[in-house]
Structure 1
Amino acid sequence: EIASQALGRALFAREVSAYWLRRSWDYIRSEPLDWIRLMGRKWLIVWNVRELEDADDFYLYQKWSWLLRGLGWANHFGLLVPLAAMGLVLTWRQWRELWLLYALLLSFALTVALFYVFGRHRLAMVPALALFAGASLSQFGPLFRKREVRQSLIAAAALLLTIAMVYWPVMGERTPSAAGLNNLGIVLAQQGRIEMALRSYRLALQAEPRFIAAHYNLATLLARHGKIDEAKLLLHEAIKINPGYAMAHNKLGEITAAQGDLEVAVVHFREAVGIQPQLAEARRNLEKAIALRNKKP
């Protein structure tokens, strides 16, 4: 959508990819230090204890599943990665036999950091991490009993330093995300559980006040149930956050048209079409509003 707006026409998938690739290279060339800082932050996120959600939110599902709540206390990168770091130290003397595992783990981590960090994207790292974590559990005890103090201290230091890294608060609390709460609100609204849907949208905005999708969905549901003033306020807030949000302009046009203010509705519909010409709903609304306005005496 953003690429299409920038180029002023509908794009094929390969054209969208080419657009963002050009934008990425332009950014790296113009802001190299900022890009390095960004990559450093993304590298920390790759190993962080918090799962970065995509369409599915693990922390939201935990509220509905006793099994996930039970597993969640230990089944995460906050335990796996430190143990794997200690295992890497303890198995370093076997690097000739294990170099392929090192290469796989590093390549997976770099790929995730370079592109987009999601919990599901870093899942490919888990098998290699689990092998090294298992090595730490099997080798540290015998090593300690043999009183190999130096190697034991190095392994323990690796464990503690990695714990500090993975628990570094680079991503916020391990709580349901705005996107997850917004998606839950959509499902609840479809099921007719309106009050629960409204609460979920409001929680999404508490979690991320600038999350415009939650503004839009909450406004749509409020307008559908007669709370017009609050709905319009939310849509104006969404447009203030992102003036190029065509759907918010279109929804404001629909609300004002339903109130009989066709002049203002036409302005909003035109704004929506100007921002996103391929938004068919806004085009239809604009044509209808103009026709109704012209029929007025």
Structure 2
Amino acid sequence: MPCWALLTGIGVLAFILRWICLAETAAIASTQQLLGDAATYYAWAEKIAAGSWYGDTTFYQAPLYPYVLAILIKFGGVAVPGIRFTQAILGSLACVLLVASTKKVFGLRTAVVAGVMLAIYSPAIYYDGIVQKTSLASFLLCGLLWASLSIQSRLFVSSGLSNADPLSKSREEAAPVAVTPEHPKPIVYLFSLVAGLFLGLLVLTRENALLWIPLFPIWMIWLPSSLSRRQRFALAGTMILGLAMVLVPVAARNGSLGGEWSPTTFQAGPNFYIGNNAHASGIYEPLVPGHETPVYERSDAHRLAEQETGHELTAREVSRFWFAKSWSEIRQSPLSWISLLVRKTAMVVNHFEVPDVESLFIHQQYSVVLKLFSFWQFGLLAPLAAIGLVMTRDRWKELLLLYALIAVMIVAIVGFFILGRYRFPLVPLLIPFAAVGVTLFIQMVSRRRWRPLRMPVGVAILVAIVSYLPIHAENHLNASSLTNVAVAAGQQGDLGAAIMLLEQSNRMQPDIAETNYNLGFAYKQTGQMQPAIEHLVKAVQLEPDLMTANFHLAECLERIGRFEEAKLFYANILTVDPNHTGAVRALERLDTLAPQAQ
């Protein structure tokens, strides 16, 4: 079958699966009523589309995704369903690009396996269907791999095994093949420029891709080829030019608004603290309990930093403050931090897809496609990729770029905190190795070559064991995701559905403060004060600093005439936030009522 037909077939397969999943999950409340980052991105995109293309503040979150959404809204007239449909197309194109990339190092048969693997990978289908930047980042990463490996396929001086059957001949039998012409064709420099553009766009989507920037020019200069030193530096310079074309305008724009140049955002410091402070668990926890949304993230980081330093800070100074605070706490207990790093490293390969606001677990309840391919997740990908990594180790020079990208991304993930969508960039990098691992394993078994399988299988078993260690509080995280769906239902005005979902979440995990708070608030909205007070009291007991729970509990107590108790909770709020206007006014109101009561 022609290569173009295989590429088309994989793209169509990927799109059909994603389109079916979109239809199946359209009724989920959090798909219709966006929450968390999704709501922030969409609101930001609407503001941009309304005319605020330049903006008025430095970037705190990666900007490319909301700008892409703004273009879709402004010039395509699309809303959330149209965005999800567009992402299904991007996800399908990513599969095609991964096939084209894998073919350049492992051959067509392995490339087709890799494309099918990404097409049916259940987290990939899920992320392509929610309003998050993961889909865009995956497409850009696959584009970066395609451009980079296109350079390698034209320049690399190999042993001739790149696209041959790895078992058909030994390395000694393979004749050296120099692919490089004496003077490289201009298309090589074009691919280098395109690689720089893709990397720059990826950095504006996933800030931790910044750590990849040094790898590419070093790799281009080191890459075994017949290029002269001057040609190698010209190739690296072309790539840097493409990168600069994307990042320099953003840095200048940030400088014009904040007085400080930054090619991306100013949230690295707070994120590093969240992932490495003395009480860090390895997953996301807000600086202020109850402020899990982007609405608060920037203001909380800025306010807390200025409170502790006692003076105003710029965006860069806020980031530096949180880095310094992190290292201070790390120095106080270095062994605890090392233990945390080990735990986070295990989290990276864990089978569980750690949710943020939305959850694969919830979407699987609605989608036959996600249920059908639920077996194909990180817990299976990591061991299969381990087989491929071990079995291709003799080709390390040719695969060095992929090794480096994987290693640096793991460091970047472990250095902050773990979410399923944060580790997703590893998926397009590992799938080619999983594909070659499967194909080589099948070849060796069919030829009864057992000895070479001992090490790969042993490593794969070890990775599989680590992947299924009970590291995450899965029930707790899934219940929290169900709470978020309930919140979305409540925001749509369906309080009955919200209460039903919240009660289900509370049965799954009764000790979640946020669930009890939202359940109490929902009962309060329906006028059921007694169950409202019960759940709000439990929320405050579980999380005393959850100020919204304190406030609504105080209001409920005030409504049923328990004024003295209400005053205690209002006062508790002011100990944390002295400027809380609602609590200040409530205490003034209750103080005026006291003489009347007497």
Give the TM-score range, shorter chain: 0.7 to 0.9
The counterpart of 2:332, out of the listed 10, 30, 42, is 30
Pick which of 204-213 and 47-56 moved more: 204-213
The counterpart of 1:143, out of the listed 434, 444, 461, is 444
Q: Equivalents in 1 of 2:370, 2:576: separation in Å?
A: 43
Q: Secondary structure of 1:180's partner?
A: helix
| Partner in structure 2 of residue 237 of structure 1 | 538
| Partner in structure 2 of residue 52 of structure 1 | 354
Q: Secondary structure of 1:72's partner?
A: coil
For residue 130 of structure 1, report the CA deviation from its aligned partner: 0.7
Aligned partner of 2:351: which letter?
A: V
The counterpart of 2:467, out of the listed 166, 171, 180, is 166
Aligned partner of 2:375: which letter?
A: W
Aligned partner of 1:162: which letter?
A: V
1:24 to 1:203, Cα distance in 2 relative to 1, 3 A: farther
Q: Equivalents in 1 of 2:564, 2:313: separation in Å?
A: 32
2:532 paired with 1:222: no
For residue 107 of structure 1, report the CA deviation from its aligned partner: 0.9
Pick which of 142-151 and 219-228 moved more: 142-151
For residue 156 of structure 1, report the CA deviation from its aligned partner: 1.7
| Partner in structure 1 of residue 379 of structure 2 | 78
| Partner in structure 1 of residue 413 of structure 2 | 112
Contact 1:48/1:166, CA 8 A, preserved across alignment:
yes
Q: Equivalents in 2 of 1:19, 1:205: separation in Å?
A: 38
Aligned partner of 1:44: which letter?
A: A
For residue 270 of structure 1, report the CA deviation from its aligned partner: 2.3
Alignment length, in residue pairs?
296
Aligned partner of 1:35: which letter?
A: W
For residue 147 of structure 1, report the CA deviation from its aligned partner: 4.2
Structural mapping, 1:1-297, within 5 Å: 2=288, 4=303, 7=307, 17-74=319-376, 76-173=377-474, 177-293=478-594
Q: Normalized against structure 1, the TM-score is what?
A: 0.88
For residue 294 of structure 1, report the CA deviation from its aligned partner: 5.9
| Partner in structure 1 of residue 260 of structure 2 | none
Aligned partner of 2:378: which letter?
A: F
Q: Normalized against structure 2, the TM-score is what?
A: 0.46
Q: Secondary structure of 1:200's partner?
A: helix
Q: Equivalents in 2 of 1:173, 1:14: separation in Å?
A: 36
Aligned partner of 2:323: which letter?
A: L
Q: Equivalents in 1 of 2:565, 2:304: separation in Å?
A: 24
Aligned partner of 1:111: which letter?
A: A
Q: Equivalents in 2 of 1:58, 1:222: separation in Å?
A: 28
1:190 to 1:90, Cα distance in 2 relative to 1, 3 A: same
Q: Equivalents in 2 of 1:5, 1:209: separation in Å?
A: 31
Contact 1:220/1:231, CA 8 A, preserved across alignment:
yes
Q: Equivalents in 1 of 2:440, 2:528: separation in Å?
A: 64
For residues 104-153 of structure 1, give each alpha carbon's deviation from its aligned partner in whole angstroms, at most 9, with x where no partner exists. 10111111111010001011111110111111122222233444432222
Q: Equivalents in 2 of 1:129, 1:212: separation in Å?
A: 37
Aligned partner of 1:258: which letter?
A: R
Contact 1:182/1:204, CA 8 A, preserved across alignment:
yes
Aligned partner of 2:362: which letter?
A: L
- The alignment's C-alpha RMSD in Å is 2.7
Q: Secondary structure of 1:24's partner?
A: helix
Q: Structure 1 or 2: larger helix share? A: 1
Q: Equivalents in 2 of 1:37, 1:238: separation in Å?
A: 30
Aligned partner of 2:546: which letter?
A: Y
Q: Which runs of 5+ in 1 are unaligned?
A: none
Aligned partner of 1:91: which letter?
A: T
For residue 32 of structure 1, report the CA deviation from its aligned partner: 1.5
Aligned partner of 1:118: which letter?
A: L
Contact 2:554/2:569, CA 8 A, preserved across alignment:
yes
For residues 59-91 of structure 1, give each alpha carbon's deviation from its aligned partner in whole angstroms, at most 9, with x where no partner exists. 0111112222122222x1012111100000110
1:25 to 1:208, Cα distance in 2 relative to 1, 3 A: farther
For residues 255-278 of structure 1, give each alpha carbon's deviation from its aligned partner in whole angstroms, at most 9, with x where no partner exists. 122123434333322221221234
Contact 2:476/2:509, CA 8 A, preserved across alignment:
no
Q: Which runs of 5+ in 2 are unaligned?
A: 1-286, 289-300
Aligned partner of 1:233: which letter?
A: E
Contact 1:59/1:176, CA 8 A, preserved across alignment:
no
Q: Equivalents in 2 of 1:112, 1:206: separation in Å?
A: 33
